Structure 1
Amino acid sequence: MSRRSPSTGTQSPTFGLDATVWSTSIAVAVAMVLGSVTLIPLTADRGYILLAGLTVLIIEAISVTGRWLRLAGWVIHVLQALVLLGIGVGLGFSAAHSLNVGGSWFQQLWRVLLESSVTVQTQAAPLPADAGVRWLMVLLIGLVTILADILVLTLESPVWAIAPLLTLYIIPALTLRQDIPWWSFVLMAVGYLGVLLAEQLTTSRRWTRNLSSDSADSGSSRHRGAAGTALGGLGVAVAIPALALSLVLGSVLPTFGSLDINSPRPRGSGPLQLADPTIDLQKNLNQQSNSVVLRYNTPSRTGEYLRLASLTRVNSSGWHVSPVNLSQDAPASVPGLNASSTRRTVNVQIGDFGSEYLPTPYAPLTAPQGDWAWDPTNLTVISTANDRTDATRGLSYSVTSMSPDPDLGSFSQAAAGTPADKGTTTVPKDVPEQILKLTHSITATKNTPVSRAVAIQEWLRDPRRFTYSTTAPPGDGYSVLTNFLTKTRSGYCIHFASAMALMARIEGIPSRVSVGFLPGTRQGDRWSVKASNMHAWPELYFQGYGWVRFEPTAAVASAPAWSVENPDSVPSSSASPSAGTSVPSSSPSASASPSTSSSPEPGATSSTGSSIPWNIIWRIAAAVLVVLALCLAPMTVRAARRRRRMSADDPSELVAGAWREVHDSWTDHGLVWPTGSPRQQFDEASRQLGDPGAGALHRLAMAEERARYARSLGELGDVTGDVSVVRRALKAGQTPRSNLLAGWLPASLWHRSGRG
């Protein structure tokens, strides 16, 4: 791409390059790196910034080198795409190794795509540190960088650099619950202004011309600047897919914007997407805050476990809540509970604790009046208010609950039940064989489901084997739980609960992980609960009893009486595998980030080892169809206008339409249509044509002149044929890019043409 100095008309080479090329390439690279930083609120992994920055630099280095070699723009972009593909394959294999994914190279990349897609679907922002998510983010930023290079350097439309930057900015804007950080907009603005400044410093005269509209008085038919027609046309063409891409990604990620919820289920949005309750869990445990968040009265002498939510879906990235279709109707009974139970009423006063989940003992049968509804499967009470994230703050309410009260004698013979939510029985197919063996060795001498559950609980509660720590085990994906079970043997409640819930499923017992509060401290007839009392525990499903609480975290709470044969005994490890039992680096992450799930439908499995995320594929396919329709729309409208003009029955209208069609064809190709009479316009415009195009244009000009000034049109000849000849001749003298623009984004749709 060779530009002329606005003052001298000569080239200003810099190592064989126009100064605008290298300066603008640097500006594009800086802008895209700044734009990538705006994605920080989406993920807890900062490592993507370095990888994305290197990818951006490589892509722009290809751009500069290609233009130094005077390669065609499309060749440069093909090379950029191939290099980005290579980077994607390399990072994909690295992610496959991190996630312990096997198989052929294609199977590995496909599995990484599935795993990372489900992580994006089932995790709330900030997403956990995950090699697959990092891979997706780097590919996204690389793709958007190529888009920016096309707009700014190939199409010479720097003003449209706003489109790729907005793509990166809109994604967190559509998905984050909280306001976008102010610095995100500042970074985007700085990057955009840098691109504009880099272009203007070298080509200020042309930049001014690019921002101007067509001049009807130019008298010249040379190409206008990139912004007049090509900017307005192709800028729109590339901006539409870019913004559509951001909307697609925004719809794939869980959305937490302000919801217009006038009913329990937001209209037209499918199952309600829920927030990640473990974010508050991790924060409060790390801070160890002594502030009291709620107080309650209960007839129970041991206090109440106050549940917020239950995590029922598990995959390599952890445990997640499911999307729900809420109901206003209170449950008539507790699912699966037919045996001995306890019914009691608890009065709760919440202080400075905001949540969309209502703290209740399991299983609640009543809820406060107002904007509250039920998850009929898990019996979670969820706010439906517009400001639902703070729905509990300052709330006072009474809740009646009914919970199983098993005694070990009868309970020990209970069989594993079959809950309505079949997803609570699913074991991911990619759970490593060593973890399966570890689980079976723990329960090898046990003959009943309850005894197996108790054995797993005792193994995890053994203080000689595990220690409690608010520092999460290292790793991502399956390696977090692997390290917890076999190496560090140290973690906090979410790791103990996640491990027991998964092991129970391996043994055929339906399970879930509940998040809420420990009973707290008794003060007279009231109980006080601190922020540091947030807790996670497993619940297992048995026939006749429904969901029954277990407690594998010995450091913070005693085991339930129904799960301990001799409460005074120390858990024995004699029937358990030795501490040296090996476990592979791959099992559902007991990370502190189980979170929102927007992907699986209720009752569907979350195992992603071999399933195809059809919901993501359908969304992307729908978005592609929308983008395709938008891209075809200008061409379709332009063709319809041409047919209408050329099908006029009145000869005068036919001539007028033909002359407008020629005028618009000039405009479509980025050429200025001459002013003056039809004869003067022909004299100027015919310079763009050779024979037979010039002859056809002359006949049309004479017909237009007679239509304007003569009493009779006379013999017209083949007007439609002459228009076709002129259009073909005009195309023959233009560049492929000009013809592509004229066909796909005819600028005449944005420029009003008169008869002359």
Structure 2
Amino acid sequence: MTDTTTPQAQWSVTVTPVIAAITTLCASSALAGVIEGMRWLGYAGIAVMVVTATGLGLRALRTPTLVVGLAQMAALMCLVVALFTNSGILGVFPGPSAIEELGEVLRRSVEAVQLGVPPVPATAPMLCLVVIAIGLVAVLVDTLAVSAGAPAACGLVLLCVYAVPASLADDLLPWWSFILGATSFAFLLAVDGAHRHQQWRNRPALPGTAAGFGSPSAMVSVALVMGLLAGALITGIGTVGSLPGGSGGKGGGGGLALKPFTALRGMLDQGTNIELYRVRNLGNEARYLRAMTLPRYDRNGGWTAVDALPDDYPADADLPPAPGDDGGGTITRIEIEPINSPKDLWAPVYGTPRRLRDIPKGMFYDQSGGMVYSRTPRQLGKYTEDADMSQPAREDLRLAGNDFSEIDQIYLTADGIDPEVVALAKQITAGKPTMFDKALALQQYFDRANGFEYKTQTDATSDENALKDFLFRSKVGYCEQYASAMAILARAVNIPSRVAIGYTAGFQSGDYRSITTQDAHAWVEVFFPAQGWVTFDPTPLTDGRTFVPPYTTGDPSAGPETSVTEEEVPTGAPSTSAAPREDPVNEQDPDAIDSFAGQEDTSWPWQIWAGLIGLVLTAAAVVAARVRRSLVRFAVPVVAVLATLTLFFLVAAVSWWLAALVLVLVAAAVPALVRAWWRHGRRHAVVTASPAAASAAWDELMAESWDRGATISDSDTVRTAARRLAREHSLDEPGKTALRTVVNSVERSWYGGQAERDPELAKAFDEVIVGLRRTAPLAWKARLLPRSVMRPRR
């Protein structure tokens, strides 16, 4: 295979891939909105470097484009095996055991995506997903920008990198991520444009590009500023509705797009039990703490929130009575203290709230849904609720009637319920005279005596098929399945219902009740005219955490059961019970607390700092060499050493053995790098017409011939050596013509005493180099271990 590219055209296979890699890494910064800390960035950087290095190496060997792409994916696979498995062949190559182990890691990564609430901790499964995703993006961007020569098309790929975290995060993506991504992509386009103009014009630079409004850099800068202003003022970028500084639409609901059951399952499936709230003055009332209610049933997605909530009632004022509420009842003042609760849209409340104190400004009360919410996530401080905690009597519920004019008809909507489910609901409630008796029969249907079992490790789906499987076959689920199923059965027999999400009462610890992630729960609320929304919990918990209202026991004098006393330790699996402790916080994993609380760990390991220092020193050495050309000879080895150390420490932040591998690879590349530096220096002397231009051109031609295995004698004259070069490397006619021009220039310089610039030398020199590459391409061994470096000719 021959190479017809000019030295200037090598730009497209050297500089462009590096810029494309930087652009990919800058775009990956969008993941900062959904993954905690900055550890993942090191893994993403390693994936991008492996893909880019593989492409650079193979293109230098003139490998076909398809093979380059496949090799990049193979290299990425080896990296994933090396980082996330312990059974790879030689620790790197995938084998059956490594593939099986990697499959388990990917399974856990999928669970983390389905169940985690952004920002999620940077666990091994998430890091594995980052390496694979960003690595594949790097392959696509590298292929489009370099092989296809269409860097503009990379914008579609990079847009997907932003779209995924933007759709998952409740908050806006970091503003600096947009700046980095837009700037790097614009730079990629500018570099490619400059290269194309250079090829068209055959000039070292674009005319008029040094300054001025019409220069590419100026145009790119203006486009970037205009795009960011448009994003902030006009479009809706991100999940809240605009870029930082913009206003999020009033009816958007912010994080309402996040599936509430995802957060619920994420809390229940955590490996550690994290304290969220401390509640005082609740007394013996083991009541549920309600965060939000879900009124709408979708047969394809389960229970969801409404699209927009009203802002008629500020939460820090007197709150209006809810539907069915007469506004009376005894008031209990309850103090709720968030401990490690994350930023959220909701302020959980007990019973029927009458007034909230010390609640942040900008929070509202939804009279219909019984929720206190904000349009943007916020961290709550300690607040106080005046709540009506009274419970209706069984007979009052039986006499409530069926006048539902006070509530929105969305609570009665039963569209799309499967006929089999409707038939089951009618069968369960057959012969029940009142709506209360029907609701009680539906709750009692989910008893263990009917084969139902509580378990958190179940299918995460909540569509119609999952509902039927739960009701008629498996009968195994956790609170989501139980609450969803009962609410749907109630709708099927014209009982207004909704699903509530919040927490059980936790356990008593000193003067407060401790509510943890293991207390996350879902239950059903049924509307009774003149009585309001009444709690029914069909989930068959056995650890004492279930609230059993007196109207469901048949004993009017029976008070509500307490969840867990200080002396009792519930039995059962750790994932389904919250065992009391004297100080639950002290026994928790601090890292887990921080991760759940949304307190991003921004501390970097010392290797990162060392790498950043090395990067600064490298940049300083480059700037010094640019300012004073006389320092170039000394700056090059300094820059090489500093760059190697920088790369070593940055990679070491991920893996020490991988850093050692980097040193080995750099050491192996030293001969080729030295040869490239000599080649660059000699060509620079030729192009700039320095006094030593002729000597530099001849030395480089002899070195190229020596690298190709030619025999050169010191006794040969210039013309004899030139004839030998043309013969041994089968130089074609254009190459021979250019070689004669070089020989004439060398002879005039050496023997003719002519020191003036030869305008034909640079063009002829480039043509000879291209001719050698065309007729005698270097083998891969000669590229990696050039003879002129390993065994320099004396």
Normalising by structure 1, report the TM-score.
0.47
**Larger-Rg structure:** 2
More contact order relative to length (CA 8 Å, sep ≥ 6) = 1
